């Protein structure tokens, strides 16, 4: 199945993949919808992250990478709830935007004691969605 992931410096010597840190584990989000992945990327950029690129890949390739790197993965279904990046970012990433490390990754911590689904009213989500779509 074709999915979309967020890459920093795609197709370069300094490529990094975006992960979310859940407890002490890294998780890669695989979006079924390119639009959802692009919205997530814009929200990251709004949090002063380096601008990630959205790249289409085969989900099996990502799963194999995750197994080899001992990462978790999650498929974000199309037409599902809006996925919002955690508000707290790690201060130092494993990936250096200017470095030469090909295998490092950017991580965002999340608090495992907090629900993963944001408690934001639908009206506010609709407002955010309209503003983000207006950026396109």
Domain ranges of the chain: 2-135
Minimal CA–CA distance to 20: which of 68, 104, 85, 116?
A: 85
User: How high is the pLDDT of residue 14?
Assistant: 85
In the chain, alpha helices (H): 34-46, 59-69, 122-135
- What's the CA gap between 110 and 116, in Å, rounded? 8
pLDDT tens digit at each of 136 positions of the chain: 999 999 988 888 888 899 988 888 999 999 999 999 999 999 988 888 888 999 999 999 999 999 999 999 999 999 877 787 776 555 555 545 555 444 444 433 333 444 444 455 666 666 777 776 666 5
Q: What is the pTM of this model?
A: 0.65
CB distance 5 to 29 below 8 Å:
yes
């Amino acid at each position: 199945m074709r999915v979309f992931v967020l890459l920093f410096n795609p197709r370069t010597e300094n490529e990094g993949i975006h992960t979310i840190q859940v407890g002490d584990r890294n998780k890669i989000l695989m979006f079924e919808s390119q639009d959802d992945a692009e919205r997530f990327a814009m929200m990251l950029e709004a949090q002063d992250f380096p601008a990630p690129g959205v790249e289409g890949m085969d989900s099996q390739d990502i799963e194999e990478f995750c197994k080899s790197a001992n990462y978790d993965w999650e498929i974000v279904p199309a037409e599902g709830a809006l996925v919002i990046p955690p508000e707290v970012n790690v201060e130092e990433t494993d990936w250096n935007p200017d470095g030469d490390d090909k295998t490092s990754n950017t991580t965002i911590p999340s608090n495992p004691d907090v629900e993963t689904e944001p408690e934001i009213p639908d009206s506010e989500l609709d407002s955010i969605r309209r503003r983000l779509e207006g950026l396109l």
